[in-house]
Structure 1
């Protein structure tokens, strides 16, 4: 099944410790109106984050490295999508997340 709509964006999510000034960077994938979030396991200060571009502002080495990491992470979404399509699997936000996290095809335990 070919998806009708596909998109992704990076955003900051508040940590459980509300007094912490840094936030985790998440990727939100949306396919046909259904979305799923994946943690990049990276952090950023909200003052340095550009929500429009979904990247960190600045020109120092750490900022460039983080933005490069986010670009590679975004490419992995397209690689996961291509893998699903080549293997004639349904492309969904959940399937993309499972492929990217290495859990695709593993049985889910429901408690």
Structure 2
């Protein structure tokens, strides 16, 4: 797979309560029950900025796969449980083309 086709979803959020354990359990459940089942899903990283600020960084094969998953997430119970623990500013969610990856 060429890196040029990968789509990066950058989704920062703040958890409503300082309850990291509940958020992490909901994140794990969403990963297992929803994201890992989505066509075009490549991988995901949960990043921490502070005790309450996090970002989900999700890799998709294409922008179309990312969009379809975002639509399907609205019907997912595990996504709803995860999202209910956070405050999200939708204007901060970005989809970016991966130009080149370095390791």
Higher helix share: 2
Give the TM-score range, shorter chain: under 0.3
**Scaled by the length of structure 2, what TM-score is found?**
0.28
**Scaled by the length of structure 1, what TM-score is found?**
0.27
RCO comparison, higher one (Cα < 8 Å, 6+): 2
Greater Rg over alpha carbons, structure: 1
